[in-house]
Amino acid sequence: MKQEERPEPDDPHVMGYGKLFAIIAALLVLTCITVAVSYVNLGFYNVPIALLIATAKSSLVLLFFMHMKYEGTAIKVSFLSTIAFLCIMISFTFWDVAFR
């Protein structure tokens, strides 16, 4: 395996104000949708839809505000492994409760 590519340490990934405001706007819109959806009874889909919107919002924060979109493979893999660990932790624990 070759040595991984190392990004320039001085590259700060500066984003324009326009892009940042667009993301804030998107987050605000998604928050409004969350609130709006909470007034509609969708039965079983209440929770999945709320989670879906929350996931979209956190993805925007992670990708742009936390610069994940611009990071190298190592950081992306690190992040994904924390998510995988969390999933395993929660699912295995809940699984025990479900079969008790």
Show contacts with another protein in window 75-94 (CB under 8 A): 78, 81-82, 85, 88-89, 92-93
Q: Residue 15 or 70: which CB sits closer to another protein?
A: 70
**Smallest gap, in angstroms, from Cβ of residue 18 to another protein?**
32
Q: HEC states along the chain?
A: CCCCCCCCCCCCCCCCHHHHHHHHHHHHHHHHHHHHHHCCCCHHHHHHHHHHHHHHHHHHHHHHHCCHHHCCHHHHHHHHHHHHHHHHHHHHHHHHHHHC
Which residues in this chain contact another protein in the complex, by CB under 8 A? Answer: 1-4, 6, 74, 78, 81-82, 85, 88-89, 92-93, 95-100
